[in-house]
Amino acid sequence: MTDTTRRDETTDMNATQLLAAHRLALGTVALLASRTAGRLYGLDFSAGPGPTLTRLMASRNLALGVGLLVADEKSAPLLHKLNIATDVIDLATVADETRRGALPRKATVIGFLTSLSGAALGAQLVNQDRA
C-alpha cells in the first residue's frame, strides 16, 4: 500500500465518520429534545405537528448515520449518494421556504448550515468513490 493510497483511505474514513457523526448528532438531539430542536428550526408547536416533524427528521438522520457506519465497500457509494441527495433536497427546501417568507432568519441559517455541511461531506465522499 502506498502513502497516497493510505492517505486516501484515511481521508475517506474521516469524511465518512464526520458525516455519520453529523447525522447521528442531529438525529439524537432531534429525538431526545424534539421541542428544543424544533424550535431552533422555527416549527410551530401550537399547531401540533412540530414534535412529529422533528422526530421524522431525527429518524431519517439516525438511519443515514448508522447506514454510513455499517456500510460495506459495495454499498457505501450508494449510501454516499443518498446522503448527498438528502442534503441537496433539504437545501432546496430551506431556500424555497425562505423565499416564501415561511422561515425565520435563525431557522434559515441553521437549515442552510446543517444541510450545506452535510452536502459538502457527502460530495467529498462521492468524489472519492469516483476516483
Q: What values do phi and psi take at 87, rounded to 5?
A: -70, -35
Contacting residues for 57 by C-beta, under 8 A, at least 6 apart? 26, 27, 30, 37
What single string gives the DSSP state of each residue in 11-49? HHHHHHHHHHHHHHHHHHHHHHTHHHHHHHTT--SSSS-
Q: What values do phi and psi take at 94, rounded to 5?
A: -60, -45
- The lowest-confidence range among 16-25, 47-56, 116-125 is 47-56
The total number of residues written for the chain in this structure: 131
Rounded to two decimals, the pTM is 0.81
- For 45-63, the pLDDT digits (tens) are 776 677 787 888 899 999 9
Q: Kindly state the cell numbers that stand for 9.
A: 483511505
pLDDT of residue 12: 55
pLDDT of residue 7: 47
Domain count across the chain: 1
CA distances in angstroms from 92 to 29, 63, 66, 70, 121, listed in the order given: 23, 21, 24, 28, 17
- For 26-47, the pLDDT digits (tens) are 999 989 988 888 777 777 677 6
